Structure 1
Amino acid sequence: MASLLFLSLVSFSLFFSLSSSASHHHPRPISRPPSPKPLLSSTPPAIQQACKATRFPEQCQTSLTQSAAHLPPKPSSMDIVQTAIWVSSENLKTAISMVKSILESSSGSQNRTTAAKNCLEVLHNSEYRISLTTNDALPHGRIKDGRAWLSAALLFQYDCWSALKYANDTQMVNQTMSFLDSLIGLSSNALSMLASYDNFGTETNSWVPPRTERDGFWENVSGGGQSEPGSPGRVPSKLTADATVCKDGSGGCHKTVQDAVNAAPDNAAGGKRFVIYIKEGIYEEIVRVPLEKRNVVLLGDGMGKTVITGSLNVGQPGISTYNTATVGVLGDGFMASNLTIQNTAGPDAHQAVAFRSDSDLSVVQNCEFLGNQDTLYAHALRQFYKSCRIQGNVDFIFGNSASIFQDCQILVRPRQVKPEKGENNAVTAHGRTDPAQSTGFVFQNCLINGTEEYMKLYHSKPKVHKNYLGRPWKEYSRTVFIDCNLEALITPQGWMPWSGDFALKTLFYGEFKNSGPGSNLSQRVAWSSQIPAEHLSVYSVRNFIQGNEWIPTSQ
């Protein structure tokens, strides 16, 4: 039955044949979009012009021409953008149905079942972000929100494709991956046009395919200042608890953090926060803050005092990196302060996440994140970390969010598996897959060092213990360090390749006025950059994550 449904869905899809010639998972870097093929004679001129601003113009022209009935006779540039988003949304519905068919037919395969369940979660997240873009952001002229939400929608579609890649053992999965590849191209095109609309205005003759800093392109900015060090934004200090968590459950308090989260109202209106005070203690549990639980605030008694701990890791059956998080957050407006979140799986357990966030407009302050590989999964959307401590070793800050880390301690800890042989560690692994995504990691006034235990190993054999600021997990990886203290453990080369020359022509790794022995630029890799002073404000709290609109300043 599932197979019949699957085949009918493939036949029903409007745009199944529109897979792009340059796939999103192309094994080689694409520094420039491919040249468009001759324009289709049946394509209206307005569509032809707008599609020139995309990475996959032929696919753009075909899909929009087939959807011309949804456009007015003389469409505006925003009409065209909205129709491109509608095309993506319609195909997304089909993709969800196809993945449901995979899940229904996978009862005998734990691997495929896990992949399909993860796919459905991220595709529903994608659907939610597209709906917000169409119904909330764009009608009210909030283009930056639209770009952030479409960037996440595209990421979630890619995540589904990536999950299925590791469970591609049936024709059904293979066909679904092919369909997702086409869907990703459609979503990329919509995002590219919206980025051009934001940067160049309403006249489509000024639009161009997405470019990055590596192409000499810098986003439009507003407001003064450079990197805005010491932003006053933070978690408010005077908050009244709506729920309390304590170890013994006395006095009417919740015994687990998850119980308190479950007590938060769904889809709280008006931005009202639900504040959970977690008393000192060690809470061994896995915590999930679902999409409908908005504006949840976790307040502890301090780093090392209030501790949420877990040990899930990819070595366990049916567990993916996404699922390993001790605390995983989807609901927007999340805040946390004065607590520790850790994953104790150990250095030989490979991927084991302490904290994963997909919460847009989230603020985390005075928190500690402890792990080894993949400690902090800043997965998606806009996040702000203030005065936090993050420990790990392999790619331990990773994801495809737009995150700013301000006044944080970033500490490498020992991998402990035959430490005498040494190792290569990358602090970051940013995963931007598309040049139009408004994502990246920004570190401002942070300390990059090792734990006391690690530094003893490093000083005993500095030549075999090498640490890098980052490596390109995906093709358009973007990470910058501004006014940071880079200690001696950072290798003079600064940045580490992922595999061969993958992404080295398309990534952007920037530095500006860092200090410390690890900041010496004389031996930096040729594919890293120095940020021009006149463009520093691109990475400010105001411009990079629109933090002036949502990070609280009152105490």
Structure 2
Amino acid sequence: MGKKNNTIFKPSVPFVFPMARLIGLTFLLFFSFSSATSSTNSEIIQQACKATRFPDSCQTSLTQSSNLTQTSKPSDVVEAAMSVSSQNLKTAQSMVKTILDTSSDNTNRSRTAMICLEVLHNSEHRISSASQVFPSGRIKDSRAWMSAALAYQYDCWSGLKFVNDSQLVNQTMAFMDSLIGLTSNALSMMISYDLFQDKLEDWRPPITERSGFWEDGDVFGTGAGAALRGFPLDLMANVTVCKDEGTDCYKTVQAAVDAAPDHHGGEARRFVISIKAGVYEETVRIPLEKTNVVFLGDGMGKTVITGSLNVGLLGVTTYNTATVGVLGDGFMGRDLTIQNTAGPDAHQAVAFRSDSDLSIIENCEFLGNQDTLYAHSLRQYYKGCRIEGNVDFIFGNSATVIEDSLILIRPRQVNPEKGETNAVTAHGRTDPAQSTGFVFQNCVVNGTEDYMVLYYNNTKVHKNFLGRPWKEYSRTVFINCYLEELISPLGWMPWDGEFALSTLYYGEFGNSGAGANRTGRVSWSSEIPDNHIYSYSLQNFIQGDEWIPTSS
């Protein structure tokens, strides 16, 4: 299960973020200094900063912020922390732009800088959105967006790690160390405010299920979230994509996406693209400004969008290998296949990458090998889908719920007689404050027919696991799923030695099938307590009752 050290997002070894450098790097931070520092309520700042992982940098940054006064409330402190993060992000963007401008003779560094600028722009957008809605009480939205903002900053930092061949890159990484810490601080305080409001004495650093904490809420079968939810059934096409010569329609999916209006807002203003049966060989990108775009196909295996980009090609990163990549919020897809045909020996080769908040995917098929489905960030919902791959083929740092879906392991086909070791998931949460994780409900985990032939021929050399921890706070749960016998009795596998084994949360509840027996599970996985199972419901985990339409 080797990994290529390609630039950005999917390295071969785990990153342990060097926060030990944070305190020593505070001199790099650029704050809005206030001449009225003495009037800042230092007591409230000190108390609020106890809720963060890095209280020293928190206090330093907020004491020097011009946004706080003697009469500031706890919510004002959270807003000031977001402002500090935003200010420093602008400096980071400027530093990365300088790297790009001075890297014309270095393809790897130049491509890394370009992707860094893209993800930092996404981070800027999410922090801005969180700052706008937090005062109105939309705290769950704010947390989701700040979680993504933090993930994007980490992505840039981790990419620069592989092109750190100059003083400028090293300085930028050092600055981003501190920026990530500041964003983490803002997100941590946001959690405490969500849980305890103005009761500062109760604020505390973020903890996870591993330490006995669940965010319980409404339960399955009660309240607004009880209704069956999924893809709206009454959508009418705005434009059509087809393969027929002479027909009045777009000939490529990308051309139809380009025709969508920017910032198409509101549930009643979706831009629906009907994609007729056919094979569309293209790379599709839905940019941040193209919101509420809908793909309607003619069925799995009938409407097929296909590509073959992979990290084996010169200058191509995991992020850019996606056949379809979505940034615009509110994306929906139904009745189609998206695939990457690069092959099992091409290493990372993504079929579908999504950074679309509040996205709904139903009755879709995702085909690939390593890294098939890149659920990169934000809140995503998949229902009735078919997902095939082998190495870490569902990965990312999103808050994703996958329901009623078929998860199939494919042969890797590279010396299969020697055996294969596969992990279904590799979740990438880097901070305990991020509201991210993978939730599988009522799914079936099995192998394709081709794979099962290999498996039954020699079960001793073919090993399959539910997941492994790509990042330190990886979180994945399987609830009421059917796990076939190809799943190892151990259930879960390490990434690299002891990395993340004491901080991850891997949970199971109510699963059945030959692969669901927990008596042989690794000691660092868990059985979800009955009284906390509802933490992972559609409405509690991704606030699905607020944005996923009812099916009736």
Tell me which residue corresponds to 1:335: 332
- Given candidates 63, 67, 72, the residue that maps to 1:65 is 63
Counterpart-to-counterpart distance in 2, 1:348 and 1:23: 39
Counterpart-to-counterpart distance in 2, 1:348 and 1:282: 23
Q: Give the conservation status (yes or no) of the 8 Å contact 2:220–2:226.
A: no
Distance 1:287-1:227 versus aligned 2 partners, 3 A rule: farther
Q: 1:225, CA displacement in angstroms?
A: 3.9
Letter of the aligned partner of 2:209 in structure 1? E
Q: Give the conservation status (yes or no) of the 8 Å contact 1:226–1:536.
A: no
Letter of the aligned partner of 2:328 in structure 1? G
Distance 1:228-1:80 versus aligned 2 partners, 3 A rule: closer
Counterpart-to-counterpart distance in 2, 1:231 and 1:371: 33
User: Counterpart of 1:489 in 2: which secondary structure?
Assistant: coil
Counterpart-to-counterpart distance in 2, 1:445 and 1:500: 31
Tell me which residue corresponds to 1:6: none
The percent of aligned pairs where both chains have the same amino acid is 67
Q: 1:554, CA displacement in angstroms?
A: 4.5
Q: Give the conservation status (yes or no) of the 8 Å contact 2:407–2:446.
A: yes
Matched, 1:140 2:136: yes
Q: Give the conservation status (yes or no) of the 8 Å contact 1:287–1:326.
A: yes
Tell me which residue corresponds to 1:3: none
Matched, 1:153 2:153: no
- Given candidates 488, 491, 503, the residue that maps to 2:488 is 491
Distance 1:539-1:22 versus aligned 2 partners, 3 A rule: farther
Distance 1:394-1:228 versus aligned 2 partners, 3 A rule: farther
Tell me which residue corresponds to 2:94: 97
- Given candidates 429, 432, 449, the residue that maps to 1:432 is 429
Q: Give the conservation status (yes or no) of the 8 Å contact 2:100–2:109.
A: yes
Distance 1:228-1:448 versus aligned 2 partners, 3 A rule: farther
Letter of the aligned partner of 1:153 in structure 2? A
Q: Give the conservation status (yes or no) of the 8 Å contact 1:426–1:467.
A: yes
Distance 1:227-1:105 versus aligned 2 partners, 3 A rule: farther
Matched, 1:524 2:521: yes
Q: 1:251, CA displacement in angstroms?
A: 2.7
Gaps of 5+ in 1: 1-18, 25-39
Counterpart-to-counterpart distance in 1, 2:401 and 2:121: 26
Tell me which residue corresponds to 1:461: 458
Letter of the aligned partner of 2:486 in structure 1? L
User: Counterpart of 2:507 in 1: which secondary structure?
Assistant: strand
- Given candidates 419, 422, 446, the residue that maps to 1:422 is 419
Q: 1:79, CA displacement in angstroms?
A: 0.1
Letter of the aligned partner of 2:472 in structure 1? E
Q: 1:269, CA displacement in angstroms?
A: 2.9
Counterpart-to-counterpart distance in 2, 1:74 and 1:43: 7
User: Counterpart of 2:266 in 1: which secondary structure?
Assistant: helix
- Given candidates 186, 200, 204, the residue that maps to 1:204 is 200
Q: Give the conservation status (yes or no) of the 8 Å contact 2:427–2:475.
A: yes
Counterpart-to-counterpart distance in 2, 1:506 and 1:465: 28
Tell me which residue corresponds to 2:356: 359
User: Counterpart of 1:102 in 2: which secondary structure?
Assistant: helix
Q: 1:60, CA displacement in angstroms?
A: 0.3
- Given candidates 118, 121, 126, the residue that maps to 1:121 is 118
Letter of the aligned partner of 2:203 in structure 1? W
Tell me which residue corresponds to 1:240: 236
Q: 1:72, CA displacement in angstroms?
A: 2.9
Q: 1:22, CA displacement in angstroms?
A: 6.3
TM-score by length of 1: 0.91
Distance 1:302-1:359 versus aligned 2 partners, 3 A rule: same
- Given candidates 398, 401, 423, the residue that maps to 2:398 is 401
Q: 1:74, CA displacement in angstroms?
A: 1.5
Tell me which residue corresponds to 2:43: 45
Q: Give the conservation status (yes or no) of the 8 Å contact 1:310–1:354.
A: yes
Gaps of 5+ in 2: 1-17, 24-37
State the Cα deviation string for residues 348-401 of structure 1 (Å, max 9, x = none): 000000000000000000000000000000000000000000000000000000
Distance 1:321-1:124 versus aligned 2 partners, 3 A rule: same
The equivalences for 1:280-319 within 5 A come to 280-319=277-316
Counterpart-to-counterpart distance in 1, 2:53 and 2:414: 44
Letter of the aligned partner of 2:169 in structure 1? V
Counterpart-to-counterpart distance in 2, 1:350 and 1:362: 27
User: Counterpart of 2:464 in 1: which secondary structure?
Assistant: strand
Deviates more, 1:217-226 or 1:55-64: 217-226
Deviates more, 1:244-253 or 1:453-462: 244-253
Matched, 1:186 2:182: yes
- Given candidates 401, 424, 441, the residue that maps to 1:444 is 441
Counterpart-to-counterpart distance in 1, 2:401 and 2:196: 26
User: Counterpart of 1:251 in 2: which secondary structure?
Assistant: coil
Following TM superposition, the consecutive aligned residue runs of length 4 or more in structure 1 with deviations greater than 2 angstroms are: 19-24, 222-231, 248-251
Q: 1:224, CA displacement in angstroms?
A: 5.2
Counterpart-to-counterpart distance in 1, 2:93 and 2:400: 29
Counterpart-to-counterpart distance in 2, 1:268 and 1:230: 29
Counterpart-to-counterpart distance in 1, 2:222 and 2:411: 35
Counterpart-to-counterpart distance in 1, 2:188 and 2:418: 46
Q: Give the conservation status (yes or no) of the 8 Å contact 2:52–2:189.
A: yes
State the Cα deviation string for residues 51-110 of structure 1 (Å, max 9, x = none): 00000000100010111x211321111100000000000000000000000000010111
Counterpart-to-counterpart distance in 2, 1:529 and 1:23: 33
Deviates more, 1:233-242 or 1:280-289: 233-242
- Given candidates 156, 160, 164, the residue that maps to 1:164 is 160
Q: 1:201, CA displacement in angstroms?
A: 2.1
Letter of the aligned partner of 1:202 in structure 2? D
User: Counterpart of 2:439 in 1: which secondary structure?
Assistant: strand
User: Counterpart of 1:166 in 2: which secondary structure?
Assistant: helix
Q: 1:535, CA displacement in angstroms?
A: 0.4
Tell me which residue corresponds to 2:20: 21
Q: 1:20, CA displacement in angstroms?
A: 4.6
Letter of the aligned partner of 1:398 in structure 2? F
Counterpart-to-counterpart distance in 1, 2:183 and 2:160: 19
Counterpart-to-counterpart distance in 2, 1:342 and 1:226: 38
User: Counterpart of 2:381 in 1: which secondary structure?
Assistant: strand
Counterpart-to-counterpart distance in 2, 1:357 and 1:334: 9
TM-score by length of 2: 0.92
Q: 1:226, CA displacement in angstroms?
A: 8.7
Residue correspondences, number:
520
State the Cα deviation string for residues 26-68 of structure 1 (Å, max 9, x = none): xxxxxxxxxxxxxx9x97100000000000000100010111x
User: Counterpart of 2:156 in 1: which secondary structure?
Assistant: helix
Q: Give the conservation status (yes or no) of the 8 Å contact 1:43–1:61.
A: no
User: Counterpart of 2:329 in 1: which secondary structure?
Assistant: coil
Tell me which residue corresponds to 2:503: 506
